[in-house]
Structure 1
Amino acid sequence: MTDDHWDTTVDVLVAGSGAAGLTAAITAADRGLDVLVVESTPLWGGTTSVSGGGLWMPANPLMLRAGVPDSAEEALRYMDDVIGDAGPASSPERRAAFARTVPEVVSFLSRHGVRWRRSPDYPDYYPDRPGGTVGRSIESAPFDTKLLGDWYATSRAKESGIPLPLMTDDVWLLARAWSTPGGFVRGARFVFRSLGAFASGKRPVGIGGALSCSLMHVVRTQKTPVWLSAPVVDLIVEDGETVGAVVEKDGRGQRVRARHGVVLAAGGFAANAEWRQKHHGVPGYSSAPEGDLGTAIEAGVRAGGALALMDDAWWGASLVGPGGKASFLVSERSFPFSIMVNASGERFTNESASYIDVGHDMLGHDVPGPMWLISDVRHARRYLNTALLGHRKEWVRAGLLIEAPSLRELAARIGIDPARLATTVERFNGFARTGVDTDFERGRTVYDNYYGDPRVRPNPNLGPLEKGPFRAVRVYPGDLGTKGGLLTDEHARVLREDGTAVPGLYAAGNTTASVMGRTYPGPGSTIAPAVVFGYLAARHAAASR
C-alpha cells in the first residue's frame, strides 16, 4: 500500500496511555523513532492513574543501593515456586525476560526524569516461599502536576486520583493513624509534607497518579503526540504482517501506518459486561476505568493473535456503593476485630491474604448468597475505611451497611442463622486469644502482619469480635482489572495459536495474558510487567527494520 492511502505515518503506534503504553512510547522515542500514542477515552492515564502505583521490581537499583540483597535468580526462584505452571503466558522465557530487564528499565526511566522511591516495608505476598523477601516494590515520588500545564486537565488522575503527595507506605499507616503511635507519626509527616508542597506552590499527586503523570511528562518532553478519544478500531494487516491501524478520531476512521509496529497497551476487558459474563461468570465489580472494553484484544485476535488466561482477573474483595462504584478492599479486611463470612455465616478464607487469593476463594466456594465483612466497634473506631468515609448513612439506606447492638440481631438483619454466626465468631475469638488461626492461618506471615495492628496481641490480625455495636458490610468479588488477553513472547510480540509471532504486532499490560499467571507475587505485580514489556516491545520494534 502506498503512502497516499494513509492519513498518518509514524514509526510506532501505541494504543493506550497507561504505564505500559507510555513506557513503550518513551522507549521508542528514545531510540529516535517517530511515535504516536492514541487513547480511546477523553482522559489519559488508564488504570495506572487510579491504582496504588507500585511496581514489583526485584533486584532493582534502589534496592541494591540500600544494601538489600536480591537478584534476578532469586526472583525467578520465587516466581517459579509461587506461579507454578500457568501455561505459555508465563513461560520460563517470559519470566526471565521480566526479571532480568527490571534493572535496565528502572535506570532507563530514571535517566528520563522519573523519580523512584522504595517501599522498604512492603513484603512479597508469599514471603515465606523460596526466594521471597521484603522491599522489592518501588513507586514514583509525588509529582508536581503543574509541570504538565494544561495537559493535566485531561488526566484521569485529576478526575479520579488523590490530589495529595500520598505514597504506598502512607496508606497502611494512615489507615490506623489514630490507633497506633506509628500511624499517628506517619499521619503527621504526611500532613506536613502536603502542607509544605502546597505552600511552595506545587500541585502534587501521589501513588498511581504520580506514576502516570511522571511518564506523561516524559512523553510530552519528547514531543510525542497523544490523541485522546481516539480508539483503535481495527488493525491493518498485509501479507500476515500488521502494518498499521484504523483509529477513530474526530468522528471518522483514520488510517495510521506504523513502519516499525503497533503496540497494543489499551487495558483489558474489565468494563465489558458481556465478556465478563462469558469468561468469568460474574457481572464484574471492577475498579478499572470505563474504557477497559477489550477492543484492543479483539483487534489483536482478528490480526491472528491467540488468547490465554481469559477466565482470570486481578481479583480481590470489593465494596460496591449505592451508586454502583466498586472500591477495592485491602487493609480493611485484614485489620483485627473483623472477619469475612459467607451467606451461611461461616468463614471461608484467610482475610489477611493476598487480595487475589481472597478473590479466588470468594469465587470458588460453593455457598450461594451474599458475603459480608463483619466487625465490632473497635474496627470502625480505630481504622479508616475510605469507601465509607462520609457516606455511612447512604450505605445504610441502601442496605449495604447493616449495624446492630448485638451479633444475634446483626445476623437476623443480614439473613444469617444467629446460632451459626455465633459459633463462627466464638471459634474465631478463640484463635484471637491464642494467636493461631488453625482454620486459615490468618496472621502467620509478615505480609499478613503488614496490614495488622501491632498493638493487638498475640496476633496483630486476630482481634476478637466482642464489643458492640457490630457492623456488616456487603462484600463482592471485585478486581483491579482483567489478566487474560493476547498471548505474547519474551519480546512482547503477539503470538498465534501455533506459537509463531504476528509480524509488526506487540502488546503489553492488561491487553495481554499475564506473565504472573494466576497469582500475584508481590505489590505492583500488575504495573511492573506492564512497564517492562512495554519497554521490551518498543526495544524490539526499534530494531525490527
Structure 2
Amino acid sequence: MWRSVVSSSERTLRMADPTVRPISAADITTWDYEADVVVAGYGIAGVTAAIEAARAGAEVLVLERTGGWGGAASLAGGFIYLGGGTPLQKACGFEDSVENMKTFMKAALGPGTDDTKIDAYCEGSVDHYNWLVDAGVPFKESFWGQPGWEPPYDDGLMYSGGENAAPFNALVDPAPRGHVPQMSEKKTGEQGGGYMLMKPLVETAEKLGVRAEYDLRVQTLVVDGDRVVGVVAKRYGKDVAIRARKGVVLAMGSFAYNNEMVRSNAPRIFGHPAASIEAHDGRAIQIGQALGADTAHMDATEVAFFCDPQLMVRGILVNGRGQRYIPEDTYPGRIGQATLFQQDNQAFLVIDEAAYDEGMNAESSSAQLRAQPTWVAETVEELEAEMGLPAGSLQSTVDLYNRHAAEGSDPVLGKKSEWVKPIVGPFAAIDLRGRTGGFTLGGLKTTVDSEVLHVSGAPIPGLFAAGRCTSGVCAGGYASGTSLGDGSFFGRRAGISAAR
C-alpha cells in the first residue's frame, strides 16, 4: 500500500517508533475509506466534532479503536464545567457571571493557563449548555450541596472545583458550575452521567448521517506536501488507509496509559493512572509531534484522592510532620494535587469518633472510598506516637485547630464554619499515604479554533484536535468537568474548522 524508508541509524534506536512518522500520499496506492472530515476517536471531543462538521455540510467518518462509541467520557461521572449564568444555575437559584467564571478558572487551573481559551470558553458557556440541551442531553433542575466527588443521585448541579472553599470563595462570589446529565441507577466507573452525555450526542450524530468504523486503531497521518490529507490505521493487523478531503480531527484521549510518555513528562503519577482508560496511549500526541506539532503542559496532571469527602470535611488532614496543609472542605481533586505534589504523597485523616460515625452514615457517591481507622487512641499524644509522628507535632496541630474551632472558625486554612468543630476523644487516624492517582492534562498545542500548531507557531494545514490529547483550559490545576467541558466545547470548534 505504501513504502516507508528507515535509515540504519534509526533502526538502532530501540525505543524509537518509526510507525508514528507521517506517510506521503504519493505512497498510498489504495484508499479504503474517504470522507470530507475524518475524526479519530468517538469520545466526547470526537462526537461533538462530528456533529458540527456534519451540520456544516461535510461528509463525516469517525474512526474508533474499540468496538463501540463512548471512550472515557461514557464511563465518567459526567460533569461538564459550565457557568456564566446557565439556565440550570438560574433554576437552582444561583447567580453567576462570565467574569467571575473567568477569574476562578484562571486562578484555579494555573499556573500558565491559556487565557484566550478560557475567555472563549467562559464567554460561550451558556450557549454551549443550550447546545447540549438542544442535542438531547438531559439536566435535572436540582442542586446537590453535600461534599463529594459527584452527586449520588440524579441532581444536575454541584460545586465541582472548590469554588466555595478557601481561597477561591474570597476571590469572587462562588457559584456551582458542575453540570451533570440526569442519570438514574448510576454505577460509578460503569454507567454514570457520562453515559447520558454521550448517548444523545451519538444519536444526534447518527441522525446527521455521520458514519463510524470501529476496531480501527489510528497509526499515523498521511500528508500531501505540508497538508494532512488522511490517516493510516490498523484493523486486526491489516493496514487501512483513510482519506480526508478537508481535514483530520484527532480526539484520541490522553497519554495516561503510555508508561514511557508518563515517565518522561509526568513522572509523579507514573504507575498510578486513574479516571482514564487504556486506550489513552498518547498516540495522537506522538503522531502530531512527528509532524512537528508543538505541545504544552505535558507535566500537568489531575490527581484523584481516594478518600470519601464526607469523612474528610469532618476531620483534619495532616502531612508526615503532623501539620495541616489544605482546607478539608475543598474540591477533593485539589486535595489530591496538594498531597502528591507538595506533601510527598503523605497524608493522614485525624477524626474523632462522633465525626467518623456521622461521616460514615452520610449519603455519598463514593462510599467505596471509606476506610476503617488505622489507629485509635484515647489521647492525641497516644495517637501521635502510634502514627510515628514527631513528638508534639500532632498535639500542637490539634490544639491550635480546637482553639479556633471552639468559635467555629479556621483562620489558618479557611475551612467553612459549618464543618469546623473541635476534635474530641476518642481519636482515630486513617492512613492515606499513597492514596492518589490521576491522568494527564497536557497535549498538542491548539488555537481557540482547534487548529494544531506547528512548533513554528503556524497551524498545520488540515490537522485539528480536541479533548485530552490537547492542552486545553487546564494548565496545572483541575476542576471536575473541565475535561468533558473542554473536550465538547473545543471539539465543536474542531469540527467546524475541519469542515471549512
Is TM-score (shorter-chain normalized) higher than 0.5? yes
- 1:6 is paired with a residue whose SS is coil
Residue 12 of structure 1: which of 17, 37, 40 is its match? 37
- 1:104 is paired with a residue whose SS is helix
1:38 corresponds to which letter in structure 2? L
The sequence identity of aligned pairs, in percent, is 27
Q: Any residues of structure 2 matched to 1:36-51 within 5 Å, and which? A: 36-42=61-67, 44-51=69-76
Change (3 A) 1:43 1:350: farther
Q: Does 1:534 align with 2:469?
A: no
Residue 78 of structure 2: which of 29, 42, 53 is its match? 53
Shift of 1:386: 6.0
Q: Does 1:318 align with 2:306?
A: yes
Shift of 1:82: 5.2
Q: Does 1:114 align with 2:137?
A: yes
Change (3 A) 1:139 1:126: closer
Shift of 1:15: 2.1
- 1:10 is paired with a residue whose SS is strand
1:436 corresponds to which letter in structure 2? S
Which residue of structure 2 aligns with residue 169 of structure 1? none
2:254 corresponds to which letter in structure 1? G
Listed one character per residue, the Cα deviations across residues 362-418 of structure 1 (whole Å, up to 9, x for unaligned) are: 2343x65732233333344222566664x98xx77xxxx624244555544543346
Which residue of structure 1 aligns with residue 253 of structure 2? 267
Alpha-carbon separation, structure 2, partners of 1:381 and 1:56: 33
Shift of 1:474: 1.7
TM-score by length of 1: 0.73
1:342/1:370 contact within 8 Å kept: yes
Q: Any residues of structure 2 matched to 1:404-483 within 5 Å, and which? A: 404-406=376-378, 407-408=380-381, 410-417=383-390, 419-443=392-416, 459-468=417-426, 470-476=428-434, 478-483=436-441
Alpha-carbon separation, structure 2, partners of 1:348 and 1:480: 20
2:374 corresponds to which letter in structure 1? I
Residue 442 of structure 2: which of 484, 504, 511 is its match? 484
Residue 199 of structure 2: which of 207, 213, 232 is its match? 213
Which residue of structure 1 aligns with residue 263 of structure 2? 277
Shift of 1:308: 0.5
1:538 corresponds to which letter in structure 2? G
Residue 233 of structure 1: which of 219, 225, 235 is its match? 219
- 1:426 is paired with a residue whose SS is helix
Change (3 A) 1:410 1:68: closer
1:345/1:416 contact within 8 Å kept: yes
Alpha-carbon separation, structure 2, partners of 1:27 and 1:316: 32
1:256 corresponds to which letter in structure 2? I
Shift of 1:439: 2.2
Shift of 1:143: 7.2
- 2:126 is paired with a residue whose SS is helix
1:236 corresponds to which letter in structure 2? V
Shift of 1:519: 2.8
Moved more, 431-440 or 485-494: 431-440
Alpha-carbon separation, structure 2, partners of 1:301 and 1:108: 33
Alpha-carbon separation, structure 2, partners of 1:58 and 1:118: 15
Residue 292 of structure 1: which of 255, 260, 280 is its match? 280
Shift of 1:538: 0.4
Alpha-carbon separation, structure 2, partners of 1:262 and 1:158: 34
TM-score by length of 2: 0.79
Which residue of structure 2 aligns with residue 86 of structure 1? 112
Which residue of structure 2 aligns with residue 455 of structure 1? none
1:506 corresponds to which letter in structure 2? F
Alpha-carbon separation, structure 1, partners of 2:233 and 2:288: 14
Which residue of structure 1 aligns with residue 5 of structure 2? none
Which residue of structure 1 aligns with residue 7 of structure 2? none
Listed one character per residue, the Cα deviations across residues 159-213 of structure 1 (whole Å, up to 9, x for unaligned) are: 9324xxxxxxxxxxxxxxxxxxxxxxxxxxxxxxxxxxxxxxxxxxx42222123
Alpha-carbon separation, structure 2, partners of 1:139 and 1:439: 33
Alpha-carbon separation, structure 2, partners of 1:246 and 1:126: 44
Change (3 A) 1:287 1:138: closer
Alpha-carbon separation, structure 2, partners of 1:77 and 1:423: 36
Alpha-carbon separation, structure 2, partners of 1:304 and 1:129: 43
Alpha-carbon separation, structure 2, partners of 1:262 and 1:114: 26
Alpha-carbon separation, structure 2, partners of 1:356 and 1:410: 27
Shift of 1:242: 1.4
Shift of 1:359: 3.3
Q: Does 1:142 align with 2:183?
A: yes
2:351/2:428 contact within 8 Å kept: yes
2:163/2:175 contact within 8 Å kept: no
Q: Any residues of structure 2 matched to 1:100-179 within 5 Å, and which? A: 100-117=123-140, 120=143, 122-123=158-159, 125-126=162-163, 128=169, 132-142=173-183, 160-162=189-191
- 1:45 is paired with a residue whose SS is coil
Which residue of structure 2 aligns with residue 402 of structure 1? 374
Which residue of structure 2 aligns with residue 382 of structure 1? 358
1:119/1:137 contact within 8 Å kept: no
Alpha-carbon separation, structure 2, partners of 1:369 and 1:103: 38
Alpha-carbon separation, structure 2, partners of 1:46 and 1:358: 27
Residue 52 of structure 2: which of 27, 43, 50 is its match? 27
- 1:434 is paired with a residue whose SS is coil
2:79/2:193 contact within 8 Å kept: yes
Q: How many residues align?
A: 450
1:125 corresponds to which letter in structure 2? G
Shift of 1:542: 1.4
Alpha-carbon separation, structure 1, partners of 2:199 and 2:421: 40
Which residue of structure 2 aligns with residue 302 of structure 1? 290
2:348/2:429 contact within 8 Å kept: no
1:78/1:129 contact within 8 Å kept: no
Change (3 A) 1:377 1:16: farther
Which residue of structure 2 aligns with residue 358 of structure 1? 335
Alpha-carbon separation, structure 2, partners of 1:434 and 1:64: 33
Structure 1 unaligned blocks of 5 or more: 145-156, 163-205, 320-328, 444-458
Change (3 A) 1:380 1:49: farther
Moved more, 96-105 or 78-87: 78-87
Which residue of structure 2 aligns with residue 181 of structure 1? none
Shift of 1:485: 0.6
Change (3 A) 1:477 1:402: closer
Alpha-carbon separation, structure 1, partners of 2:279 and 2:421: 41
Residue 230 of structure 2: which of 237, 244, 248 is its match? 244
